[in-house]
Structure 1
Amino acid sequence: MTDIERYVRAATRDNTRRSYRAAIEHFETHWGGFLPATAESIARYLADHAEQHAVSTLRQRLAALSQWHISQGFPDPTKAPLVRKVLRGIRTLHPTPPRQAAPLLLQHLQTAVDCFEAEARQARDCHDLATLRRARRDTALLLLGFWRGFRGDELARLQVQHIRAEAGVGITLYLPRSKGDREALGVQHRTPALKTLCPVTAYLQWLEVAGIAHGPVFRKLDRWGNLGELPLHSNSLVGMLQRMLQRAGVPGTLYTSHSLRRGFATWATANGWELKALMSYVGWKDAKSALRYIDVAQGFGELAVLPQSTPIKALTP
């Protein structure tokens, strides 16, 4: 791989590259399309899958096809009026509500953390390093993911050398790359220490038992408590999160890795955060993106039938 190819590859997120590769394979191998494609063939492809896939999935497939043509120096057929009209017609005839992860309720977060803390105490008394490490890792992953509103891939890419944490003060996390960082300038996030459910304490306790000073923060643990060298894969976080919550007696199947992000956004809104402050803290660039994550039903307080999040009045030390 030449230096140019290496830098071009680095310009695209791994998740995006994988999804684009899968979309191109689907077009060519599964459907039998030819590349470079014509606007007519792409319109037929959309029509053939209109009843099988959501519009969001079809848009992602179009983005992959568009990127392939541009990168190979061909005209982009996905921008043709015919393709745009077909997609608009599919959206009209096959409307589907957006699929969203349920926000993680604060009481479920509290239940899980209490369970893991009990596991950690018992494991320490029994000198059970495997259980102690798992309890500390799972607590840190949940609390950092929730209070920072991180995506699954952001949690997976956290590096110890990019984090500064001080007990009772706060934590600063640097991400060299993230979805909203279009210019790849890197983003620095800060979160204060909290009186309860503290992500700073959880992170420091995890590092203490993990014994790591460099590399991925969150890694796979085997049954004996041995740490892997590689980070957790972002695609594995959904199943892992569900198993963690179920272990604590929480209905884990309700949640995905996006539930941490939605849970924080919902909690912050219910506790009086203004939209601009929430967008700045989480890293959203536009209000439309932010509003998709906010569960407005939480605003009905005691009148709501569904359980409300336990209030923590401010994100303060």
Structure 2
Amino acid sequence: MTAPVDRYLKAARRESTQRRYRQALEHFEGAWGGLLPASADSVARYLAEHAEQLASATLRTHLAALAQWHLRHGFVDPTKGARVRDVLRGIRAEHPQPVKRAPALQLQALEACIAGLHGQATSADATKRLRGCRDQALILLGFWRAFRSDDLCQLQVEHIKVQTGASLEIFLASGKTDRDHQGRAVVVPALKRLCPVAAYETWLAASGLQQGPVFRAIDRWGHVSTQGLNANSMSRLLRMAFARNGLDGEGYSGHSLRRGFATWADHNEWGAKALMDYVGWQDVQSAMRYIDTTAPFGEWRR
């Protein structure tokens, strides 16, 4: 296959998904000793033998990886067999697991973290100043636009138009649910406080970036990387931003920003449709999974 074809085939697949698929195949072949191409019976045994070690969601990802490998190499997909599907249903019935959710970043915690980062962003130490500016912009953009970690890492300077004091107009080239890579344009409004627009402008001025990835690693000497951040580093970066300010960020992940905004919007009486349209959710169930809400028991609550 020619290099240009390989290039575009690679671009058609999200790197984060392909990374998880590679890990799943390595687990199937290396850790378990499975053979490819696989039979439906071997896949069913693989599921059964890992039913107590791996979450059902993880097993579904492993099935998707196996399905993709077989289809790509011209083999019959063994994961579609009735035996495999029945085993997976049985695992979910025998080993029910609550969905693990990252805690929502509440507004008070956001304010405390940004206050600390603002102090760092004005530091005489160049490295501390750059990290403070970057983290302010990353956290405020992630929160107020409810971006996923992947979205933040894929932002490009040339795809963002700044309207000082008004908004950021951002073109997202791709997203988790954008399977056809059509991209979409979103707007981030300027706010009276905790403003993502001002934070973004401050980061651009401090870093001198004119094109390429918006958010990048910064080494101990204050050198800004030419490469964008990896989505897997987002949770660690968020926790470190809290820790540098003497705050407890344990448990936060990239999803905490998205869940935090959804919870804030719900508390501020955004309707379900307005929230779905703003964030880009396709159904109410998706939106509700991200909201920490309190049932209105009023005076009956202790």
What TM-score, normalized by structure 2, do the two folds share?
Answer: 0.95
Aligned 8 A contact 1:180 1:285 in 2:
no
Letter in 1 for 2:245: A
> Are 2:79 and 1:78 equivalent residues in the alignment?
yes
RMSD: 1.7
**Partner of 1:203: helix, strand, or coil?**
helix
Please, which moves more after superposition, 265-274 or 293-302?
293-302
1:191 aligns with 2:192: no
CA distance in 1, matches of 2:146, 2:296: 19
Alignment pair present for 1:271 and 2:271: no
Gaps of 5+ in 1: 306-317
Pair 1:201-2:198 in alignment: yes
Distance 2:95 2:109 in 1: 35
AA aligned to 2:17 is T
Contact 1:168 1:193 in 2 (8 A): yes
Instruction: Describe the shift of the 1:45–1:249 C-alpha distance in structure 2 as closer, same or farther (beyond 3 A).
Output: same
Deviation digits for residues 103-140 of structure 1 (CA, Å, limit 9, x no counterpart): 0011000001111112233x1xxx33222111111110
Per the alignment, residue 177 of structure 1 pairs with 174
2:136 aligned to 139, 146, 150, which one? Answer: 139
1:77 deviation in Å? 1.0
Q: Which residue of 2 aligns with 1:313?
A: none
Residue 53 in structure 1 maps to residue 54 in structure 2: yes
Distance 2:190 2:46 in 1: 52
Q: Which runs of 5+ in 2 are unaligned?
A: none
1:156–1:218 Cα contact (<8 Å) kept: yes
Contact 2:117 2:241 in 1 (8 A): no
Task: Give the deviation of 1:303 after TM superposition.
Answer: 8.7
* Structure 1 Cα separation of the partners of residues 299 and 19 of structure 2: 44
User: How far apart, in 2, do the equivalents of 1:171 and 1:160 lie?
Assistant: 11
- State the shift of 1:223 in Å: 1.7
Confirm whether residue 167 of structure 1 aligns to residue 164 of structure 2: yes
Alpha-carbon distance change, 56 to 163 in structure 1, aligned in 2, over 3 angstroms: same
CA distance in 2, matches of 1:3, 1:44: 39
% of aligned pairs identical?
51
* Deviation of the 1:291 alpha carbon: 1.6
Shift in Å, 1:301: 8.6
CA contact (8 A) 1:180 1:283 kept: no
Q: Deviations over 1:191-247 (max 9, x none)?
A: 110011000000001101111111111111112221111111111111111011122
CA distance in 1, matches of 2:76, 2:40: 10
